[in-house]
Amino acid sequence: MCSWLASEADDFINDFSEANPTVKNVGRFTLESNLCTFKNHFYGRRYPGVYADMAQDRIEWYDSRGLSSWTSLFKKIREDHLPEWLRSECSKDKLNLNQKAAFFTKTGVPYRAEYFL
Protein backbone atom coordinates (compact mmCIF):
# COMPACT_ATOMS: atom_id res chain seq x y z
CA MET A 1 0.00 0.00 0.00
CA CYS A 2 2.82 2.41 0.86
CA SER A 3 4.56 1.95 -2.47
CA TRP A 4 1.24 2.49 -4.28
CA LEU A 5 0.60 5.70 -2.30
CA ALA A 6 4.12 6.93 -3.02
CA SER A 7 3.63 6.24 -6.73
CA GLU A 8 0.27 8.03 -6.79
CA ALA A 9 1.72 10.99 -4.91
CA ASP A 10 4.63 11.21 -7.34
CA ASP A 11 2.26 11.08 -10.32
CA PHE A 12 0.12 13.85 -8.83
CA ILE A 13 3.17 15.98 -8.04
CA ASN A 14 4.55 15.51 -11.56
CA ASP A 15 1.20 16.40 -13.15
CA PHE A 16 0.85 19.44 -10.92
CA SER A 17 4.40 20.60 -11.69
CA GLU A 18 3.83 20.28 -15.43
CA ALA A 19 0.55 22.21 -15.23
CA ASN A 20 2.02 24.88 -12.93
CA PRO A 21 5.65 25.41 -13.96
CA THR A 22 5.98 28.69 -12.04
CA VAL A 23 5.03 27.15 -8.69
CA LYS A 24 8.14 26.44 -6.65
CA ASN A 25 8.67 23.98 -3.81
CA VAL A 26 6.36 21.29 -5.14
CA GLY A 27 7.03 17.95 -3.49
CA ARG A 28 5.79 15.36 -1.06
CA PHE A 29 6.19 17.70 1.89
CA THR A 30 3.94 20.38 0.38
CA LEU A 31 1.45 17.75 -0.78
CA GLU A 32 1.26 16.24 2.71
CA SER A 33 0.95 19.66 4.28
CA ASN A 34 -1.91 20.61 1.97
CA LEU A 35 -3.72 17.33 2.52
CA CYS A 36 -3.38 17.76 6.28
CA THR A 37 -4.68 21.32 6.08
CA PHE A 38 -7.62 20.17 3.95
CA LYS A 39 -8.49 17.41 6.43
CA ASN A 40 -8.37 19.86 9.32
CA HIS A 41 -10.78 22.24 7.58
CA PHE A 42 -13.53 19.87 8.67
CA TYR A 43 -12.51 20.17 12.31
CA GLY A 44 -12.23 23.97 12.28
CA ARG A 45 -8.50 23.93 12.98
CA ARG A 46 -6.79 24.94 9.72
CA TYR A 47 -7.30 27.10 6.67
CA PRO A 48 -5.17 28.34 3.77
CA GLY A 49 -2.44 30.56 5.16
CA VAL A 50 -2.81 29.48 8.78
CA TYR A 51 0.92 29.07 9.25
CA ALA A 52 1.61 32.54 7.86
CA ASP A 53 -0.98 33.91 10.30
CA MET A 54 0.52 31.98 13.21
CA ALA A 55 3.93 33.44 12.36
CA GLN A 56 2.47 36.96 12.39
CA ASP A 57 0.84 36.31 15.77
CA ARG A 58 4.25 35.32 17.13
CA ILE A 59 5.85 38.43 15.63
CA GLU A 60 3.21 40.59 17.32
CA TRP A 61 3.71 38.74 20.61
CA TYR A 62 7.44 39.50 20.56
CA ASP A 63 6.84 43.09 19.43
CA SER A 64 4.54 43.65 22.40
CA ARG A 65 7.42 42.63 24.65
CA GLY A 66 9.83 45.16 23.20
CA LEU A 67 11.66 42.82 20.85
CA SER A 68 10.85 44.51 17.53
CA SER A 69 14.54 44.80 16.72
CA TRP A 70 14.53 40.99 16.45
CA THR A 71 11.27 40.71 14.53
CA SER A 72 12.06 43.35 11.92
CA LEU A 73 13.89 40.74 9.81
CA PHE A 74 10.82 38.47 9.78
CA LYS A 75 8.57 41.40 8.88
CA LYS A 76 10.85 42.21 5.94
CA ILE A 77 10.81 38.59 4.77
CA ARG A 78 7.01 38.57 4.89
CA GLU A 79 6.82 41.84 2.99
CA ASP A 80 9.26 40.66 0.32
CA HIS A 81 7.95 37.13 -0.19
CA LEU A 82 4.27 36.88 0.74
CA PRO A 83 1.45 38.41 -1.27
CA GLU A 84 -0.44 41.11 0.58
CA TRP A 85 -3.60 38.99 0.76
CA LEU A 86 -1.66 36.32 2.69
CA ARG A 87 -0.28 38.76 5.27
CA SER A 88 -2.75 39.15 8.13
CA GLU A 89 -1.07 42.41 9.11
CA CYS A 90 -2.42 43.89 5.84
CA SER A 91 -5.97 42.61 6.32
CA LYS A 92 -8.86 44.94 7.01
CA ASP A 93 -10.71 42.23 8.94
CA LYS A 94 -9.03 41.41 12.20
CA LEU A 95 -10.27 37.89 12.72
CA ASN A 96 -8.34 35.64 15.06
CA LEU A 97 -7.10 32.18 14.09
CA ASN A 98 -10.15 30.40 15.50
CA GLN A 99 -12.56 32.66 13.62
CA LYS A 100 -10.71 32.08 10.36
CA ALA A 101 -10.57 28.32 10.98
CA ALA A 102 -14.32 28.19 11.66
CA PHE A 103 -15.08 29.92 8.36
CA PHE A 104 -15.11 26.64 6.39
CA THR A 105 -17.34 24.76 8.85
CA LYS A 106 -19.84 27.64 8.83
CA THR A 107 -19.86 28.42 5.09
CA GLY A 108 -18.40 25.41 3.26
CA VAL A 109 -15.85 27.75 1.68
CA PRO A 110 -12.26 28.01 2.95
CA TYR A 111 -11.08 31.32 4.34
CA ARG A 112 -9.23 33.23 1.57
CA ALA A 113 -10.74 30.91 -1.08
CA GLU A 114 -11.23 33.82 -3.46
CA TYR A 115 -7.47 33.99 -3.98
CA PHE A 116 -6.98 30.44 -5.20
CA LEU A 117 -10.30 29.07 -6.51
Q: Specify the number of domains making up the chain.
A: 2
- Structural domain that includes position 21: 1-41
Global pTM reads 0.74
In sign, the C-alpha dihedral spanning 7, 16, 107, 89 is positive
Q: Are residues 12 and 60 in the same domain?
A: no
Q: Are residues 8 and 37 in the same domain?
A: yes
Q: What is the per-residue burial (b if ≥16 Cβ within 10 Å, else e) of 57-75?
A: eebeeeeeeeeeeebeeee
Q: Higher pLDDT residue, 41 or 84?
A: 84
Task: Give residue 68's pLDDT.
Answer: 95
Residue 40: band (very low, low, confident or very high) from pLDDT cuts 50, 70, 90: confident
CB 46 within 8 A of CB 33: no
pLDDT in tens, 15-30: 999 999 998 889 998 8
